[in-house]
Structure 1
Amino acid sequence: MVSVNDIDRLFLQSILSRRIVSDKLFKLLWMKCKDAAKAVNPGLEVDVTETSDQLMGRMNKKLDPLNLEIKTIYDEHSGIKLYGLINGTGDPNAQLATSYTVSEIAFFKAIVQQIMLGNDECYSISSMAALRESNPIKPKMTKSQAEGVLNSFVTSGWLLKSSRGRYSLAPRTLMELGLYLKNTYDNDGYVECTVCMEILTRGTRCWNSPCQARLHHWCYDRFSKTRAEYECPRCRENWSLPANKERMIPIGEEAAKEGYDDLPRRRRADSEEEDEMEVDEDTEEERPQRKKSAPKKGRAAQAESEDEEPEPTQTQSSAQNDDEDEPSQPARRRIRRKV
């Protein structure tokens, strides 16, 4: 006989198959699951007053032993509430391990790094720049293989690709890897909305350079429409003036200008040493050899002294030159007489 537990399992399976759903679809799926159960068991009693948040809390209690969780996030542009069933570890290796190889996960993490460390908080990367991130990956990826993996990241909901061909982080990545992004890029690319305190990769920020106020598009719209005059929640600059509205600075792909991806790319601190070593090696190969080298000590100097012949002194050189100038004479035999 069908029970309430069967409804819960059917609902979780429907969420798992979709990964991320809107608030509207979240409610619709729950209603369809209840209707399907009642069709089999008309006498089944189901709580019809349960809200979406209450339903999510009840599901999470069942998912906790499995290290799974239903979380919510708001779409950064539209503000639509999204629900997703995620792995509680929050690590890219665990999240992507079931669908991607080790090299493909390394490729994804390299792309995420370049998106998070983009110039002027553009939080996006061009197609060519994304493909370049596959070059250091071992085993080596061909260009067609890298393009295929990039398309897979998009279709799986990890990345977004705009009409300009730029990649950015999708809501699934922000939801499932939010903890990883915060721990990895905190104070170095990771920013939060001043209003909702959620991660921000597209929105707007105050034009006052020392000010740290940043808002999602929908947070800014809601913030500005609730009052006739409004000011920056941080520095108190007047945002309501028409002239000041135009001074707001975009965050996200709108901030990406032509040539941004050709600029020197930033790297995290743990990879800067590797980059410096590569630069030093290249520089050393291009640098011409010096005529005189610095004096060496210890075994290195002793080894060189044994390998190299000593240079003749000035007296030895002049004597050697004189010997070379004189004609060669036959060797004389000394005869010893007996007395």
Structure 2
Amino acid sequence: MPELSWRHQTLIQALLSRGPLRDDEFHSIFTGLTGKNPGTQRQLFDEYLLKINKALSYVQCELRGFRNQYDGRIYYGVVNNISDEQSKLGTKYSVPQIAFFKAIIEAILQDAAAQGSISDIDALNLRLENQVLTGTESQSQGGPTHVPLPLKNFSISQKQKALDELVQDQWLTHTTDGNIGLGVRSFLDLRSYFHNSDIPSCQVCNEAGVKAELCQNDCCTVRIHKYCLKKLFSKRRGERVCPSCGTQWHFVVPKAELLEEDEESDVPTQSQPPLGPKRKRLETGKTGDANAVQSGSSQTSGSTTTDLRRTTRSTARLK
């Protein structure tokens, strides 16, 4: 296991104690620790992240970068890559609350318009009976499904309380139009779950198009994130068209937004470590899924990998 300095440990501790941090916040902490600006010392920054991830891999954790599909900003956070029976004991959410969260996630992902949100009213009216685990003996024999009483009796007021807690813990968020959307922790932890849920990927970045723009051709399934559209069309001259079917794409690139953030740092991919000034990537894992909602890892204190080992036991998963 690579030995981490106090600076490496402090970066980990910052993410564990505060939860996912926006790139400028995380860069500010890095600058305070090292005296170096990640914007001008990118190779040093990437070397720090690579060394941290090598150490975290021994406790099935990783420092992951991701882009928030609502504001287009890059965030960093520490996630747990495993799910076991012990980790389920660490959740603060009840079974009905977890089922409620799953129902909200599914409702958002099933939106064909890719708005990435549902209204508060729709969220509170979601039925939890659909979240009963499949594959039971009664179901396999075609018999009636037994719905646990806690799910049947989960009231509107209890749903509202769970909703408030999920927003506070950054699993969900209030969007600018007043609806309920995915929080930064969901984008951080649920990457593989999104891909496994058959959500169309963005044509530009290949990440799940949870909140995205659609091609105007009804027969075309292309989705592109708004920030990816800016990146795509700002570098093109002439007609702006769908990269798949060629249909004209009605999109105006704001003149004031020059995509400086996209040139500063790309969102880390899942397998390639940071290498150089332009194609630096965080080493990320592929095993995080919807079970991560039961996690308390990003709010757990710990400045060493020993503390992180405890964190892996406090991260629970949805089933």
Provide the TM-score with structure 1 as the length reference: 0.59
- Shift of residue 108 of structure 1? 0.8
Alignment correspondent of 1:11: 11
Given the superposition, is the C-alpha separation of residues 108 and 97 from structure 1 closer, same or farther in structure 2, using an over 3 Å criterion? farther
Given the superposition, is the C-alpha separation of residues 129 and 79 from structure 1 closer, same or farther in structure 2, using an over 3 Å criterion? closer
**Is the Cα contact below 8 Å between 1:90 and 1:177 reproduced in 2?**
no
* Unaligned segments of structure 1, at least 5 residues: 36-47, 247-339
Q: In the aligned structure 1, how far is the partner of 2:42 from the partner of 2:168?
A: 36
1:1-59: per-residue Cα shift (whole Å, max 9, x none)?
xx962222222111111221122222221232347xxxxxxxxxxxx775333222111
**Is the Cα contact below 8 Å between 2:66 and 2:75 reproduced in 1?**
yes
Alignment correspondent of 1:69: 62
Given the superposition, is the C-alpha separation of residues 57 and 179 from structure 1 closer, same or farther in structure 2, using an over 3 Å criterion? same
- Shift of residue 95 of structure 1? 8.3
Q: CA RMSD in A?
A: 2.8
1:157 equivalenced with 2:170 (yes/no): yes
Secondary structure of the equivalent of 1:121?
A: coil
1:72-95: per-residue Cα shift (whole Å, max 9, x none)?
11222443221111111389x968
- Shift of residue 142 of structure 1? 2.7
Q: In the aligned structure 2, how far is the partner of 1:90 from the partner of 1:219?
A: 33
- Shift of residue 111 of structure 1? 1.3
Q: In the aligned structure 2, how far is the partner of 1:57 from the partner of 1:182?
A: 25
Given the superposition, is the C-alpha separation of residues 115 and 215 from structure 1 closer, same or farther in structure 2, using an over 3 Å criterion? same
Secondary structure of the equivalent of 2:237?
A: coil
Alignment correspondent of 1:257: none
1:180 equivalenced with 2:186 (yes/no): no
Instruction: Name the amino acid aligned to 1:234.
Output: S
1:169 pairs, out of 173, 176, 182, with 182
* Unaligned segments of structure 2, at least 5 residues: 36-40, 130-147, 253-319
**Is the Cα contact below 8 Å between 2:4 and 2:52 reproduced in 1?**
no
1:270-297: per-residue Cα shift (whole Å, max 9, x none)?
xxxxxxxxxxxxxxxxxxxxxxxxxxxx
Instruction: Name the amino acid aligned to 1:29.
Output: I
Q: In the aligned structure 2, how far is the partner of 1:198 from the partner of 1:95?
A: 28
- Shift of residue 234 of structure 1? 0.7
- Shift of residue 143 of structure 1? 2.2
**Is the Cα contact below 8 Å between 2:100 and 2:128 reproduced in 1?**
no
Alignment correspondent of 1:215: 224
**Is the Cα contact below 8 Å between 2:204 and 2:224 reproduced in 1?**
yes
- Shift of residue 103 of structure 1? 2.2
1:108 equivalenced with 2:118 (yes/no): no
Q: In the aligned structure 2, how far is the partner of 1:218 from the partner of 1:104?
A: 33
Bigger helix fraction:
1
Alignment correspondent of 2:241: 231
- Shift of residue 194 of structure 1? 0.4
Q: In the aligned structure 2, how far is the partner of 1:119 from the partner of 1:214?
A: 10
Q: Give every structure 1 segment of 4 or more consecutive aligned residues whose post-TM-superposition deviation is greater than 4 Å.
A: 93-97
- 1:257-336 alignment, distance < 5 Å: none
> In the comparison of the two structures, how many residue pairs are matched?
223
Given the superposition, is the C-alpha separation of residues 218 and 233 from structure 1 closer, same or farther in structure 2, using an over 3 Å criterion? same
Higher relative contact order (CA 8 A, sep 6+): 2
Q: In the aligned structure 1, how far is the partner of 2:97 from the partner of 2:6?
A: 37
Q: In the aligned structure 2, how far is the partner of 1:90 from the partner of 1:200?
A: 25
Q: In the aligned structure 2, how far is the partner of 1:192 from the partner of 1:90?
A: 25
Alignment correspondent of 2:110: 117
Q: In the aligned structure 2, how far is the partner of 1:95 from the partner of 1:210?
A: 43
Larger Rg: 1
Q: In the aligned structure 1, how far is the partner of 2:211 from the partner of 2:127?
A: 25
1:203 equivalenced with 2:196 (yes/no): no
